[in-house]
Amino acid sequence: MEQMLSVVFQTSVKIFDVPVENHILLFIPTNSETFNTTYENYKSAAAEFRGKIMFVLVNTNETRNGRIFEYFRIREVDVPAVRILNLTSQAKYKMPADEVTVENVRHFCQSYLDGKAKLHLSSEEIAEDWDKMPVKVLVGQNFNRIVFNRTMTVFVMFYAPWSYDCRKLLPIWDELGEKYQSHEDVIIAKIDITANDVLSVVMDRYPFFRLFPAGPDIQVRSLR
């Protein structure tokens, strides 16, 4: 198995089929002046973690990689950037050091394998009027508090603004919110999953729907 994969659009699905659940990704434009040095440093750390962590290179100049940038919340000002992704939990980790050196990459990988790396969770700010409309607007910061409160049944739509199917269904979701607006024990909600990390829910498509029933023994139900 190759220890280094380069990602471009169609091959992005392929990397998630590799039988190694831990992936580290370097986001960098391949035509930058520092690319050769940065890439060599990154690649030099790979051999030590063979079979434990799959090393991946993502060219940020490739526009077809846009979905990957969005998934990892990578902006142009962030690169070069290094992230670790656990495919099982979908947990993401950000390398603390800004400089991509052999030692920094090694330390990041070992810290992750030792369970010492800190999760990197993205969240929008909670809007002042998040609960004023029929459909409540959740973000990463208030998601668990709302859906796992046990006193309310919460039905959530996980959506991506760029998705045609999501945009088509949002007006229908608003209608559902209006229908249940008078039910004090029911919340109809939505969350932009491209801007907020939710580790308690694993999704494989957008839109994604999940019902969080009220009660002490919550049995979560997913609808697709």
Point out the least confidently predicted range of 46-55, 57-66, 108-117, 156-165.
57-66
When the pLDDT of each residue in the chain is averaged and rounded to a whole number, the result is 87
3.40.30.10, 2.60.120.620, 3.40.50.720, 3.90.1150.10: which CATH number matches 4-113?
A: 3.40.30.10
Q: Where are the domains of the chain?
A: 4-113, 135-223
- Sheet arrangement for strand 81-86: 4-7, 54-59, 22-28, 81-86, 92-94
CATH level 2 (architecture), domain 135-223? 3-Layer(aba) Sandwich (3.40)
- The pTM (predicted TM-score) of the whole model is 0.66
CB atoms within 10 A of CB 64: 13
CB atoms within 10 A of CB 149: 12
Pairing of strands 135-138, 92-94: unpaired
At residue 13 the predicted structure's pLDDT band, cuts being 50, 70 and 90, is: very low
At residue 75 the predicted structure's pLDDT band, cuts being 50, 70 and 90, is: confident
Question: Residue holding tokens 């070992």?
Answer: 110
Per-residue pLDDT, averaged over 58-75, amounts to: 83
Q: What is the pLDDT of residue 29?
A: 92
**Are 4-113 and 135-223 equal in CATH topology?**
yes
Read off the tokens for 122. 């993205």
